[in-house]
Chains A and B, each alone.
Chain A
């Protein structure tokens, strides 16, 4: 299978307040690829992911997904196809089932919620004990973080934007997350951009590691 360009980032400039995080940043994300963006906390990783999900505007630059700009697809459709999983899990509902199924009630939703598939993903992430009528608020942060990943994966995003996806997990659970993401990406085919401050793990499971500090220095230079 030849790798096709999924997400294309051109001349992207992002600021956080008055600070320049990125200037003229270019990146092509190919199908099947997992790219890590490494940077210390406060280096703007989260801001960059929010920008790629079009939750905020870049100062400059263009984004395309298989050649289409967000405006062509419509912003909600862009975000369905470019799935952002924030670092801190946010739970909206009283049951795990609603939590996972809610996004399928949006007007733009394409498929129907598949509880069996959800159960398989939960099990793959060692959440077998979590039932669909459990209260998400009563789960541990680590369990919520994995639940949030399942919630995003069920929507079949073509690009996954993962913000420190294993930050609250023990080694076993973190490995399960890496395996599931890898499996989902090769299945679709899709791609993932993972931001992390953890240098060791990034090298192990990502195809490419970019350093945000170096990119920012190049931008200023």
Chain B
């Protein structure tokens, strides 16, 4: 990264000043966002600094164990975040999100590092960790949206589901419209962003590469790989968790059973 321009402390202070403007507007208009914005800004700095040191350590080690430990922490954090967002949850939701993201995250990231980019070893942390982060960050959204749509769907549409069961539908036949809708809702953001990529927004990774001095065409090729990787991870994560969750609200006797569901406040 020799041709990347290093930022000075002053540069960071100028960036922080931009945020102060937003904070000032919030205080002036009495939006009550000032404290939250300040907290969010502090968290951004602290979390990113910590990650910087951790990444430096893991990159320095370069062992499979270090990468695996890092990946485990990332997957747990992603699964926790994913199950907190939906309006409803159930016992075992974390486990379902964890298993789904573990499989989707590891399989897809490994295919990219080992198969597409062809890095040796495939777990080379400089590639593996940031790519896994991108995969998890996006599949987290798919998992959270899919779970939310499914659980609030079966909760709110209980009479429709039970009517279909009463007419002789199997649990799967009665659940299918809600499963389909949940997957559709989970994939809206990624499909939308693939539609407008490059037209409205230049993706973060490409921006980073270009800022760091890479050839834009090379950056584009990477970005295409990344978009497909992210879309695949989001789809797999969303579909996986929805299929696991739907089994929790039906009994083996093809009855809808909402007792495992718990409402949760979004915080």
Seen from chain A, the residues whose Cβ lies within 8 Å of a Cβ on chain B are 53-57, 70-71, 75-77, 79-80, 83-84, 86, 88, 90, 92, 102-103, 106-109, 151-152, 155
Given contacts A79-B165, A92-B163, A107-B170, 19 further A-B contacts (CB under 8 A): A53-B166, A57-B255, A70-B253, A75-B254, A76-B168, A76-B170, A79-B166, A79-B168, A83-B167, A86-B159, A90-B163, A92-B160, A103-B168, A103-B169, A106-B168, A106-B170, A108-B168, A155-B167, A155-B168
Closest chain-A Cβ to B244's Cβ sits at a distance in Å of 22
Could you tell me the distance between the alpha carbons of A86 and B160 in the complex, rounded to whole angstroms?
11
From A70, which residue of chain B is reached at the shortest CB distance? B253
Residue among B159, B162, B169 with max Cβ neighbours from chain A (10 Å): B169
How many of chain B's residues touch chain A, expressed as a range?
Answer: 10 to 19
From B158, which residue of chain A is reached at the shortest CB distance? A90
Which residues of B have CB within 8 Å of A79?
165-168
**In the complex the two chains form, is B159's CB within 8 Å of A56's CB?**
no
> Does B164 reach chain A (CB closer than 8 Å)?
yes
Which residues of A have CB within 8 Å of B256?
55
Seen from chain B, the residues whose Cβ lies within 8 Å of a Cβ on chain A are 159-160, 162-170, 173, 253-256
Closest chain-A Cβ to B63's Cβ sits at a distance in Å of 52
Closest chain-B Cβ to A1's Cβ sits at a distance in Å of 27
State whether A83 and B170 are in contact (beta carbons under 8 Å apart), knowing that A70-B253, A88-B159 are contacts in the complex.
Answer: no
Which residues of A have CB within 8 Å of B163?
86, 90, 92
State whether A76 and B254 are in contact (beta carbons under 8 Å apart), knowing that A107-B173, A108-B170 are contacts in the complex.
Answer: yes
**In the complex the two chains form, is B166's CB within 8 Å of A106's CB?**
no
Work out how many contacts link A and B, with CB atoms closer than 8 A.
Answer: 62
Could you tell me the distance between the alpha carbons of A160 and B163 in the complex, rounded to whole angstroms?
14
Which residues of A have CB within 8 Å of B255?
54-57, 75
**In the complex the two chains form, is A83's CB within 8 Å of B166's CB?**
yes
**In the complex the two chains form, is A80's CB within 8 Å of B168's CB?**
yes
Could you tell me the distance between the alpha carbons of A196 and B173 in the complex, rounded to whole angstroms?
31
**In the complex the two chains form, is B253's CB within 8 Å of A151's CB?**
no
**In the complex the two chains form, is A86's CB within 8 Å of B170's CB?**
no
From B252, which residue of chain A is reached at the shortest CB distance? A75
Which residues of B have CB within 8 Å of A70?
253
Could you tell me the distance between the alpha carbons of A53 and B168 in the complex, rounded to whole angstroms?
10
**In the complex the two chains form, is A75's CB within 8 Å of B166's CB?**
no
Closest chain-B Cβ to A24's Cβ sits at a distance in Å of 22
From B169, which residue of chain A is reached at the shortest CB distance? A106
